[in-house]
Structure 1
């Protein structure tokens, strides 16, 4: 049976979180995180993770489910999000998937969005696993450096699983996630997209970065550095990767903040391009000059009610 599902997408800082709360209250919903980095514990400020107070009693799912040193893939998210959607429906509630990671959201929505998780050569994987057990993770990592130095830069030497996967990909580049060309929806879903004029959005992004720094983002990144997680998957998030070099003296905090703002703006632009070309979205402008937030929410609610009935 196909289930009803609301999806809220859009660039960073556009207002997705606030809208999701209002829709959840209006339609008896529960919210599923659709952001690739909010799944990590201890990464709250830099990912703009919703606070318990901001939740207003609305249940949220797939937040703080893995440690920052762990690997969490899009196929992991696909599995977990679909389980949450089913569980929410069993409770008689409406699932609302919210986030800016388009690949993750598409992976949930379409039944034929599959991934090649199994190795093409199981014997070769076993060989690599034995090598790591006998010679250690550093020796295995050296093999990756010799095979694909570029891939090795983004992987911590102690993450044996990811190192093995990277060696496999270097040996067989076809080992990549795939989606069927013809997309068949798994759910009866409605995608709401939030947009904003560039100047206003960029100003909001710059202000958010300043607020994050005031809230203690530096201490959050320092905690990851103390755990030697600079090369982990989680540490590649914008707002974190720019601050690690401050601790090594590569540049100062002011330069890091400048880079976070710049990279966040560039990311927002990429998000909009992706959503416009990869998804069927009903767009709503969040420009402040047009209407108040309350009026915008009312308009979106009326649209959703008409489509979901």
Structure 2
């Protein structure tokens, strides 16, 4: 849909997908191919290696540079598309200026277990403990690191936002009825497996053995467990489906809470109807 819209309004596209910024993670992130781009310029895809650190702050800085440069030249409309709510919010609503990462603190925290990190975060910032994904080691490390470096609470500091662009945004949220959405997610995973996700994940597993814990994208971390002999391939595929459904549920919760989004349900409207309506709203906007 973003491609069709981009053609209609002469727009470039910025991906707001926290997994598609990584090189080599192609099938499992359903990364757009150059053929699928149909000549539309895309930004923020294949930015870094999968074991490199990348934060919302890095995304916010790079994307605002793209937007502001584009604005100065008065070149094009821009579509930001993707499902990483925090990435999108950092651009539309602004972003808190949190301290840069500290190698010494980070190394110390990364040597601890997930359970130890959860305990530390709960003691330092209970609100963050209730809000973030407690199974994501990188998120835990970052939240604790900010608490240590600032003496404040990550949950409070991360909402003190400064917006670094002069754009206005027409915000669109696409959804489907839950049953249909989950069915499509399960089918999507099966398509990824058929396209060679297991083989792609194995290459990543062999190449980044020492830093696999940094690769937390759905579709890869589950297969890593299979390669380690902890679960069967069928169990890994079931876990990918389950984690993808959970992620979709979290996305729905996130975007329903956000302000000023126009919601379209593609279980109830055709893609053409949605596109036509977006274009009408865009003209007024």
TM-score, length-scaled by structure 1: 0.75
Cα deviation for residue 167 of structure 1 reads: 5.6
Tell me, yes or no, if structure 1 residue 82 matches structure 2 residue 61: no
Give runs of aligned pairs for residues 171-250 of structure 1, distance below 5 A. Answer: 172=151, 174-175=153-154, 177-180=157-160, 186-226=166-206, 227-228=208-209, 229-232=211-214, 235-250=215-230
- Please list the CA deviations of residues 184-235 of structure 1 after superposition, one character each: whole Å capped at 9, or x if unmatched: 9842111011111111111111111000111111112112211213201xx2
Distance of 1:85 and 1:33 partners within structure 2: 13
Counterpart secondary structure, 2:69:
helix
Match of 1:298 among 272, 276, 283: 276
Match of 1:99 among 74, 82, 100: 82
Cα deviation for residue 272 of structure 1 reads: 0.8
- Please list the CA deviations of residues 163-186 of structure 1 after superposition, one character each: whole Å capped at 9, or x if unmatched: 798566468463565123898984
Query: Is the CA contact 1:195–1:285 (under 8 Å) kept in the aligned structure 2?
Result: yes
Distance of 1:251 and 1:280 partners within structure 2: 43
Cα deviation for residue 20 of structure 1 reads: 0.7
Query: Is the CA contact 1:148–1:170 (under 8 Å) kept in the aligned structure 2?
Result: no
Equivalent in the alignment of 2:132: none
Equivalent in the alignment of 1:62: 44
Distance of 2:176 and 2:137 partners within structure 1: 35
Distance of 1:281 and 1:189 partners within structure 2: 10
- Please list the CA deviations of residues 83-126 of structure 1 after superposition, one character each: whole Å capped at 9, or x if unmatched: 11123332511011111111111111124x2132158xxxxx69
TM-score, length-scaled by structure 2: 0.81
Distance of 2:38 and 2:144 partners within structure 1: 42
The CA RMSD measured in Å over matched residues stands at 3.1
Equivalent in the alignment of 2:55: 73
Counterpart secondary structure, 2:173:
strand
Equivalent in the alignment of 1:10: none
Counterpart secondary structure, 2:174:
strand
Distance of 2:250 and 2:170 partners within structure 1: 22
Structure 1 gaps of 5+ residues are 1-18, 120-124, 157-161
Equivalent in the alignment of 2:124: none
Number of residue equivalences? 264
Cα deviation for residue 294 of structure 1 reads: 2.5
Distance of 2:253 and 2:34 partners within structure 1: 32
Compared with structure 1, are the counterparts of its residues 225 and 114 closer, same or farther at alpha carbon in structure 2 (3 Å cutoff)?
A: same
Distance of 1:56 and 1:50 partners within structure 2: 10
